[in-house]
């Protein structure tokens, strides 16, 4: 598989000393101790711009780990407000947030978790146009949404702007995780895996139920994969779908090739070979 170098925008504009003062060297020391990250990788994290779409069960833990890991700019988009049924699993919120826009409540909690991070709240549902602008301004995008229309819209924007996408999904005790990195010519996009089609069953957490720690597992893994993309460490994860069976506690991996006739990505530019 092709190794994708980190995007230039992550690393070349600022040197390490501008981004990591003594307090930061201490705060991020357990990352810097990892040879796969080191100062260079942590500098990339500090200068990275990450977009998290959806601040629900997946988005809360994903954004929390990204904030604590020290990403430079974290944008959290969600058009919903916090309600009492969210508190079982959406770990950024407390009872006092009920009725507030999730993006605003999440941003407050993330700033408390790490004041180093520039957090931007986008407290409305994104039209394709807004999504395009936010994706274009990001180095990596996390899809933490709860509906397929938005999932396909995010994918289209990521293909158009050639941005890596870390996709997570969870319902009941089942979850799926995949990285789509269209900077690599062989990587599929989300539509190559799941073309638009009719729903098999109603699949929203709002009606089906979802096991609280499951979204923590998957949201944390989304942050994990996003940070790997930013740092450029480990094996690239694109080209695979991970399926998690939370009742049997089993992970299964399926290879996902690019669909050469995919209507979303067949004509995309191949910037990295």
Binding site for another protein (CB under 8 A): 54, 56-59, 143-148, 151, 168-171, 174-176, 192-201, 203-205, 208, 210, 215, 241, 243, 254-262
Instruction: Provide, rounded to whole angstroms, the least separation between the CB of residue 69 and another protein.
Output: 21
Which among 35, 150, 267, 173 is positioned nearest to 165, based on CA atoms? 150
Instruction: Indicate the residue among 194 and 233 with the shorter CB distance to another protein.
Output: 194
Instruction: Indicate the residue among 11 and 165 with the shorter CB distance to another protein.
Output: 165
> What number of CA atoms fall less than 13 Å from residue 235's CA on the CB side?
5
Instruction: Provide, rounded to whole angstroms, the least separation between the CB of residue 167 and another protein.
Output: 10
Instruction: Provide, rounded to whole angstroms, the least separation between the CB of residue 196 and another protein.
Output: 7
Neighbours of 106 (CB within 10 A): 31
Instruction: Provide, rounded to whole angstroms, the least separation between the CB of residue 269 and another protein.
Output: 20
Instruction: Indicate the residue among 55 and 74 with the shorter CB distance to another protein.
Output: 55
> What number of CA atoms fall less than 13 Å from residue 150's CA on the CB side?
22
Instruction: Provide, rounded to whole angstroms, the least separation between the CB of residue 76 and another protein.
Output: 13
- Cβ neighbors of 192 (< 8 A, separation 6 or more) are 256, 257, 258, 259, 262, 264, 265
Per-residue b/e over 171-203, b at no fewer than 16 CB within 10 Å? Answer: beebbbbbbbbbbbeebbbbbbbbeeeeeeeee
Instruction: Indicate the residue among 80 and 104 with the shorter CB distance to another protein.
Output: 80
Instruction: Indicate the residue among 17 and 207 with the shorter CB distance to another protein.
Output: 207
């Amino acid at each position: 598989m092709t190794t994708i170098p980190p995007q230039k925008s992550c690393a070349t504009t600022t040197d390490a000393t501008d981004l990591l003062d003594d307090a930061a060297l201490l705060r991020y020391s357990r990352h810097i101790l990892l040879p796969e990250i080191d100062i260079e990788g942590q500098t990339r994290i500090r200068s990275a711009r990450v977009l998290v779409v959806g601040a629900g069960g997946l988005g809360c833990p994903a954004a929390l780990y990204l904030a604590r890991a020290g990403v430079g700019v974290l944008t959290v988009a969600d058009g919903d407000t916090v309600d009492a049924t969210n508190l079982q699993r959406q770990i950024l919120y407390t009872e006092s947030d009920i009725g507030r826009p999730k993006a605003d409540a999440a941003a407050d909690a993330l700033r408390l978790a790490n004041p180093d991070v520039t957090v931007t709240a986008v407290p409305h549902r994104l039209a394709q146009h807004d999504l395009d602008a936010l994706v274009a301004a990001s180095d990596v995008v996390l899809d933490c949404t709860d509906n397929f229309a938005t999932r396909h819209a995010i994918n289209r924007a990521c293909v158009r702007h050639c941005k890596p996408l870390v996709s997570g999904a969870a319902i009941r005790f089942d979850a799926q995780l995949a990285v789509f990195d269209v900077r690599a010519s062989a990587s599929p996009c989300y539509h190559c895996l799941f073309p638009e089609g009719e729903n098999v069953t109603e699949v929203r957490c709002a009606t089906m139920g979802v096991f609280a720690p499951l979204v923590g597992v998957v949201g944390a893994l989304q942050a994990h994969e996003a940070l790997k993309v930013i740092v450029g460490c480990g094996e690239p994860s694109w080209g695979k779908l991970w399926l998690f069976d939370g009742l049997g506690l089993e992970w299964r991996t399926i290879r996902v090739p690019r669909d050469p006739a995919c209507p979303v990505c067949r004509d995309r530019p191949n910037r990295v070979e």
